A and B are shown apart, each in its own frame.
Chain A
Amino acid sequence: METLMALLIGVLFAVGVFLVLSKNLLKIILGTSILAHGTHLLILTMGGLKKGMPPLLLKGEDLSYTDPLPQALILTAIVINFAVTAFLLVLVYRIYQDLGADNIEQLRGTADE
């Protein structure tokens, strides 16, 4: 299971990096989102993918339970990433509205600006 996840994370990172390196602003934003997804999966996998008990300690049982911390971390990270992506989308929309540019090349300024 971990190997499979590692492969998936690798693919996500490859796709993310490819998109971030493109020139279209929207593609770049999608790229950052995919990179973030890859990272979240990585944290989940790093905590160990166990099946079984919920993270509650019951009396008399010491079965292996799922590590709750990575899930808590990811939850926070997802919220942050959500906010940042929303902000980026609005920013790019404003850039498109005001400057008519949806491409990083078109944002190049002149020397005496």
Chain B
Amino acid sequence: MNNLVILPMIIPLLTGIILVIFRRNIPFQRWISLFAILSTAAAAIYLLQMISRYGIQVLEIGGWEAPYGIVLVADMFAGLLILTTSIVSAGCLLFAIATVDLEREKFYFYPFMLFLVTGVNGSFLTGDLFNLFVCFEVMLISSYVLISFGGTKVQFRESIKYVLINVISSTLFLLGIGYLYAVTGTLNMAHLSVLIAETGQSSLLTTVAILFLVVFSLKSALFLYFWLPGAYSAPPTAVAAIFGALLTKVGIYALFRVFTLIFYHHPEITHLLLAVMAALTMLLGGIGAVSQWDIRKIIAYNVIIAVGFIVSGLAVFTSTAMVGAIYYLIHDIIVKGLLFLLGGVMIGIAGTSKLKEMSGLIRNHPLLGWMFFIAVLALAGIPPLSGFAGKVLMTRGILEAEFYWLAAIGLLSSLMVLYSVMKIFVSGFWGPTYLRSEQEKGTTSGLLFPCMFLTAVSVGLGLGVEGIHYYVEYAANGLMNPDIYIKAVLKGS
């Protein structure tokens, strides 16, 4: 029992509610929301220390014990993700403060950002499938607002698609919850795990597992990604960055949780399906990324490739691959946020998102160019940057499990990633400079700082791999041994 567990949810939620009252006081809104995100990060760091010292932290809300009451569970995996979420949302928020126009700010932009973070953190913390649904909805409703905010034609067109696909997948999610409740009579994840381990995962339960697989694949853009490139390239940069960094990752988190804790008894069906979907995601996403000539579309397709890559670590289900997948997940949250921000700055300067109309930006913006280069290398997994450790461990894990085809596709997708983002670098930054600095459409003032912040985090993550290795291994160990989680939640009952 530890009341601290609720902090990462309650800080952004309460701050968001307070900010709604101070609608007109924009500077207040800006700094208070930044402060809230930073205190969430502090709470996450404290929580991580608690977890590494005393094991999984559990909060039984209202004092009702686990299978009956609602529980919040902070294990190492969730803790790491919450910390990463706070860091990347601080970066996006700084960028938003510099770029988002007054009209949007007046209409509750910051409260919705905070509610989004509430939903994301809630999804990481909850120990109950129905609460996972509720937290997903909190996150999604905020994202619906943020994506349609501003009301340009493209935004309307993409937001209606985005909202509809998510409403349908939420309906399917509820359906799965209903079936699962009918079969097992509980929705607490630890309790579900115990019950299913006792009675065996019948074919009915495997079918339900596949329904959950479809739901989370829709949310995390695993194979069912057709809505993503359009939706993530419509909203303003700061919003697109936080979407690209966080939203799909919550779906991935749900996949990890459900397929390591609850439905892990028939990996030859569910995990093989995951592997096939991951491979297809990487291939198709890679083809998409290579074929595009629009910065935002290229980066959005890169989100898809990363989803496939991370899930392939879950699919092979060995501890080496799991450690690698967690590394890569953390790295990807940071670097995707960074990439969206840098792309946004480039678009702001050139006034277009088309690569063919853009050239030689490095002459006037060397810092931006080099940061982009670092981000590209990190994304492709060049040592010593942050993508390297994850990629190496995961490839080794996949090879150990003798999924040679999956490893080959994973490495091929790395090449596609490198080619597609290098294309942005080469045609955006090299070549003759079209625009003299006074002709540029936008400035970079105030925009480079958040990018520098995230670049520093990414480089630090790469150089400090040893430093966080203990935590990542701890998290992977927790995922591979569901008993630890069950014991913490159900207390030996």
Interface residues of A (CB under 8 A from B): 20, 25, 28, 32, 35-36, 39-40, 42-43, 46-47, 69-70, 73, 76-77, 80, 83-84, 87-88, 91-92, 94-95, 98-99, 104, 107-109, 113
Contacts and interface: CB of A to CB of B under 8 A. Distances in A.
B141 A94 contact: no
B163 A91 contact: yes
Contacts of B153: 98-99, 109, 113
B167 A42 contact: no
Nearest to B186: A69
23 contacts: A36-B174, A39-B174, A39-B175, A39-B178, A42-B175, A43-B174, A73-B177, A73-B181, A77-B174, A80-B137, A83-B141, A84-B144, A84-B163, A88-B164, A91-B148, A91-B156, A94-B148, A94-B151, A104-B160, A107-B157, A107-B160, A113-B153, A113-B154
A84 B163 CA distance: 9
A80 B166 CA distance: 13
B168 interface: yes
Given A76-B130, A84-B141, 6 more contacts: A35-B168, A84-B144, A87-B144, A88-B167, A107-B156, A107-B160
Given A83-B141, A87-B141, A107-B156, A28 B164 contact: yes
A34 B320 CA distance: 45
Nearest to B163: A88
Binding site secondary structure of chain B: helix
B171 interface: yes
B159 A32 contact: no
Interface size class of B (residues with CB under 8 A): 20 to 34
A46 B130 contact: no
B156 A70 contact: no
Nearest to B131: A76
B189 to A, nearest CB: 15
> Quick one: which of B141, B151, B168, B178 has the most chain A CB within 10 A?
B178
Nearest to A77: B174
A109 B154 contact: yes
Interface string B178-197: 11011000010000000000
A105 B179 CA distance: 36
A32 B171 contact: yes
Interface string B108-138: 0000000000000000000000100110010
Contacts of B167: 32, 84, 88
Interface of B: 130, 133-134, 137, 141, 144-145, 148, 151, 153-154, 156-157, 159-160, 163-164, 167-168, 170-171, 174-175, 177-179, 181-182, 187
Contact of B160 (A36, A77, A91): A91
Nearest to B152: A98
B76 to A, nearest CB: 29
A39 B171 contact: yes
Contacts of A94: 148, 151, 156
A107 to B, nearest CB: 5
A35 B171 contact: yes
Q: Which 5 A-B pairs have the closest CB atoms?
A: A46-B182, A43-B178, A107-B157, A39-B174, A46-B178
Q: Which of A46, A83, A87, A92 has the most CB of B within 10 A?
A: A46
Contacts of B175: 39, 42
A41 B431 CA distance: 62
A35 to B, nearest CB: 5
Given A47-B181, A87-B144, A73 B130 contact: yes
Given A46-B178, A47-B181, A80 B134 contact: yes
B230 to A, nearest CB: 9
Nearest to B166: A84
Contacts of A95: 156, 160
A109 B159 CA distance: 13
B259 to A, nearest CB: 23
A35 B181 CA distance: 19
A112 B157 CA distance: 15
